[in-house]
């Protein structure tokens, strides 16, 4: 249940002088007395341990806009969570409170910037749901949609088109539930054999997503997974460079942020589990080295259980330079390594904090260790000298989260 007093306190703290916040306060005052909103508001919030983002929606009865939207967020993750929660099919006129929001909003919505007397706005609709949806049967492997999806099966195709693929009814259902910007759904007759499959397809239709009924042969020519998945979807996602041309971090953060840096994790299943763990621990963003498994490998996407697409992901060619840029911006960067003298549970963390984990076999590189603020090790009983990288990331991140709650 939404705590409107906390919402108002957040809005007043982040942007107290706006007329929009004043109008919302007055509407809430009326709501408190009558139980009805005048005007009508839908309120979406983001944040795990504390509120870090608010989105206010009011209906707009015009031809080209369904909602007026005021959005205030303190981190890239909170921005993305709010944008993903915005309903499909509907066009919003988003009041942009900060310039840094431009990249994030374009990654989830398609539209254009509108400058007016009242300020700067972005008029957009969730990617994949704003155009005329295509519903047809695909029986030939050379069909344009089948050819396009085969391109997305390659890493080159994923990066070129800023899209990745989710496979199977569970993962596609999660993508729909999470509000990911889905550009198209392919399904076989097998999906229609269960009530869950039929409901999934019905929801995709209701969300105005393009859906293609393909034969098993066409699906098998696209996916290397066996048995052949009954459904797959293409999801838009921009895998951004962490450092700008000037060498500054290319993302927005608040003093309370946390980040996971995964260096050279080679196995896509391990990487997926690591991303899932970081997502559950509430990190603000994840930074990956350019060497190692791709986060868009189908095994990584599956193992991440929805983290790929929901959590902001960045990549860096030079992890050392990225760590130095973080430290210069006020971050503390802790490297997890079994060779460290200092134990995890005797380490005091202060935010913003980044945790670095390394390759499954070789651990952190010498360069990464040299650039970290401090190195810490996880204490272990005799018999083992290391943990799975996903497990290690979980131990480190949850100790960090525990200290933040104290």
The answer, yes or no, to whether residue 49 has pLDDT greater than 90, is no
Tokens of 4: 């409107």
Do 144 and 65 fall within a single domain?
A: no
**Residues 231, 244: one domain?**
no
143 and 98 in a common domain? no
329 and 268, same structural domain? yes
Domain of 156, CATH number, reads: 3.30.1330.30
> Tokens representing 22?
């004043």
Domain co-membership, 167 together with 111:
no
Domain boundary among 205, 236, 267: 236
Task: In whole angstroms, give the CA distance from residue 180 to residue 236.
Answer: 8
Under a CB-based contact definition with an 8 Å cutoff, are residues 209 and 133 in contact?
Answer: yes
What token pair was written down for 123? 């008029």
Query: Which of 67, 97, 126 corresponds to the end of one domain?
Result: 126
* Band of residue 406 on the pLDDT scale cut at 50, 70, 90: low
Whether 232 and 286 map to the same domain: the answer is no
Whether residue 387 sits in one domain with residue 248: yes
325-383 per-position pLDDT tens digit:
999 999 999 999 988 999 999 999 988 999 999 999 999 999 999 999 999 999 999 88
Would you place residue 115 in the very low, low, confident or very high pLDDT band (cuts 50, 70, 90)? confident
At 211 the three-state DSSP class reads strand
Q: Which of 97, 126, 155 is the endpoint of a domain?
A: 126
Task: Tell me the DSSP string of 134-153.
Answer: -EEEE--TTSHHHHHHHHTT
Same domain, 26 and 14: yes
> What sign does the CA torsion over 331, 337, 339, 342 have?
positive
What's the pLDDT score for residue 16?
72
Looking at residues 133-153, what average pLDDT do you find? 96
Q: Tell me which residue range forms the domain holding 70.
A: 4-126
244 and 229 in a single domain? The answer is no
Token pair in block for residue 157 = 């195709």
State how far the Cα of 96 lies from the Cα of 55, in Å rounded to an integer. 11
Express each pLDDT in 226-258 by its tens digit: 999 999 999 999 999 999 989 999 989 999 999
Please state, in angstroms and rounded to a whole number, the distance separating the CA atoms of residues 281 and 398: 6
Residue 191's pLDDT is what?
Answer: 98
Does the pLDDT value for residue 128 go beyond 90?
yes
Same domain, yes or no: 362 and 346: yes
Task: State the Cα–Cα distance between residues 265 and 272, nearest whole angstrom.
Answer: 10
| Claim to verify: residue 201 and residue 274 sit in the same structural domain | no
> Is residue 346 left, alpha or beta, with left meaning phi > 0 and alpha meaning psi from -120 to 50?
alpha
Q: What is the mean pLDDT of the chain?
A: 94
CATH number reported for the structural domain that contains residue 338 in this entry: 3.40.1280.10
Report how many domains make up the chain: 3
> Quick one: 358 and 325 in the same domain?
yes
pLDDT in tens, 173-219: 999 999 999 999 999 999 999 999 999 999 999 999 999 999 999 99
Query: Quick one: pLDDT band at residue 70, thresholds 50, 70, 90?
Result: very high
CB 258 within 8 A of CB 355: yes
Q: What is the mean pLDDT of residues 111-122?
A: 84
């Amino acid at each position: 249940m939404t705590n409107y007093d906390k919402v108002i306190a957040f809005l007043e703290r982040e942007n107290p002088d706006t007329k929009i916040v004043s109008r919302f306060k007055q509407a809430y005052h009326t709501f408190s007395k009558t139980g009805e909103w005048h005007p009508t508001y839908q309120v979406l919030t983001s944040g795990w341990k504390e509120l870090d983002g608010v989105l206010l929606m009011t209906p707009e009865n015009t031809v080209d806009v369904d909602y007026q939207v005021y959005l205030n967020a303190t981190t890239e993750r909170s921005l993305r969570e709010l944008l993903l929660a915005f309903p499909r099919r509907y066009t919003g006129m988003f009041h942009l409170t900060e310039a840094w929001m431009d990249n994030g909003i374009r990654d989830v919505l398609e539209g254009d910037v509108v400058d007016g007397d009242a300020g700067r706005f972005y008029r957009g609709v969730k990617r994949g749901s704003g155009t005329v949806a295509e519903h047809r049967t695909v029986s030939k492997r050379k069909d344009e949609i089948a050819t396009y999806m085969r391109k997305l099966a390659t890493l080159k195709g994923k990066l070129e088109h800023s899209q990745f693929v989710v496979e199977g009814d569970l993962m596609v259902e999660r993508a729909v539930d999470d509000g990911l910007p889905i550009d198209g759904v392919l399904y076989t007759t097998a999906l229609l054999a269960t009530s869950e499959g039929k409901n999934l397809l019905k929801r995709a239709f209701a969300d105005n997503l393009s859906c293609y009924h393909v034969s098993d042969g066409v699906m098998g020519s696209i996916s290397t997974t066996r048995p052949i998945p009954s459904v797959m979807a293409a999801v838009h996602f921009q895998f951004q460079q962490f450092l700008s041309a000037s060498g500054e971090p290319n993302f927005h953060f608040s003093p309370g942020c946390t980040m996971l840096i995964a260096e050279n994790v080679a196995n896509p299943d391990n990487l997926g589990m690591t991303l899932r763990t970081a997502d559950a621990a509430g990190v603000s963003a994840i930074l990956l080295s350019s060497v190692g498994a791709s986060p868009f490998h189908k095994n990584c996407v599956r193992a991440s259980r929805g983290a790929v697409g929901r959590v902001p992901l960045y990549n860096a060619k030079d992890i050392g330079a990225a760590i130095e840029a973080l430290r210069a911006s006020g971050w503390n960067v802790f490297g997890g390594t079994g060779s460290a003298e200092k134990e995890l549970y005797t380490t005091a963390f202060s935010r913003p904090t980044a945790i670095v984990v390394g390759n499954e076999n070789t651990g952190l590189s010498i360069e990464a260790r040299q650039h970290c603020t401090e190195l810490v090790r996880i204490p272990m009983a005799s018999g083992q000298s290391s943990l799975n990288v996903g497990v290690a990331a979980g131990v480190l991140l949850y100790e960090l989260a525990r200290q933040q709650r104290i």
